[in-house]
Amino acid sequence: MNKISQTKQLVSEINRLHCDFSKDYFETGWVEKINLSRTITHIPVPHIYKYRLTLHESVNDYLMTADIDIKYFYRVKTRESIDDKIERFSEREDRYPVNNWLNDIFGARIILTAAEITAVMDLLDDWQDELSLKNWYLRNKEDYKGLHIYFKNKSNFYFPWELQIWDAEDIQSNIQNHEKFKRNFI
């Protein structure tokens, strides 16, 4: 299986796991369903923390069922990182829906070549429809370059997940950028 097929398989599996976890978490009646297309003033922060903790404690149970043939990395965002993001977005004049910026409580990452990333980008519009993805974009700003793909399974009650695809040539500059701009809370 080539890297493009493996990437599609990963995208499909993350989307499936997002759907399975979200249904298990939000559709059981154990937690209140809150519309995340509203601004942070309407979303109780404990709702975010509870989701993050549950995801952190159970994500490996879901990942063990995945059919993934490509090397990937993942993390669940720390509470401190969530607090930092909430603070930054609460201070903005333009208020954005929570599901537009708190879209990476779960994040996965793979490393591809530039040519492979271009090939994936050529296919992503089709994958977006076929796999019911939220959206995707290429971020190229402040010494950071990465393709971001988001999963929300068409529900404003589910926190989106993120997959970043980095070019092998950009690893060091992207890590430095994350240290500089994404870890102010440390």
Average pLDDT over residues 144-169: 96
Kindly state the tokens that stand for 23.
């249904």
Asked whether residue 185 carries a pLDDT value surpassing 60, the answer given is: no
Amino acid at 65: T
CA dihedral 76, 82, 85, 91 (to 10 degrees): 160
Q: Is 157 within 8 Å of 100 (Cβ atoms)? A: no
pLDDT for the residue 171:
93
pLDDT of residue 168: 94
CA dist 103 and 83 (Å) reads 14
Closest C-alpha among 121, 148, 141, 139 to residue 14:
148
Q: Is 83 buried (19+), middle (13-18) or exposed (0-12) by CB count in 10 A?
A: middle
Strand order in the sheet with 144-151: 73-76, 106-112, 161-167, 144-151, 135-141
Quote the tokens at residue 169.
């040539």
On whether the CB atoms of residues 126 and 182 are closer than 8 A, the answer is no
| pLDDT attached to residue 183 | 61
- What is the structure's pLDDT at 35? 97
Residue 180 has pLDDT above 80, yes or no: no
- Please report where in the chains the tokens 């992207």 appear, as a residue: 174
CA distances from 54 to 21, 48, 133, 145 (A): 10, 10, 23, 31
Three-class DSSP category at 163 = strand
Contact 62, 13 (CB under 8 A): no
* 48 or 1, greater pLDDT: 48
Longest dimension (CA), the chain: 48
* pTM exceeds cut of 0.85: yes
Question: What whole-number percentage of the chain has pLDDT above 90?
Answer: 85
Report pLDDT for 92.
Answer: 85
Q: What is the pLDDT of residue 142?
A: 82
Q: Model confidence at 184, in pLDDT bands (50, 70, 90)?
A: low
pLDDT at 143: 86
Average pLDDT of the chain to the nearest whole number:
93
Mean pLDDT of 24-51: 96
Range of lowest pLDDT (12-26, 31-45, 80-94, 144-158): 80-94
Element (H, E) at 38: none
- Average pLDDT of 100-116? 97
pLDDT per residue as tens digits for the range 109-134:
999 999 999 999 999 999 998 988 99
pLDDT at residue number 57: 96
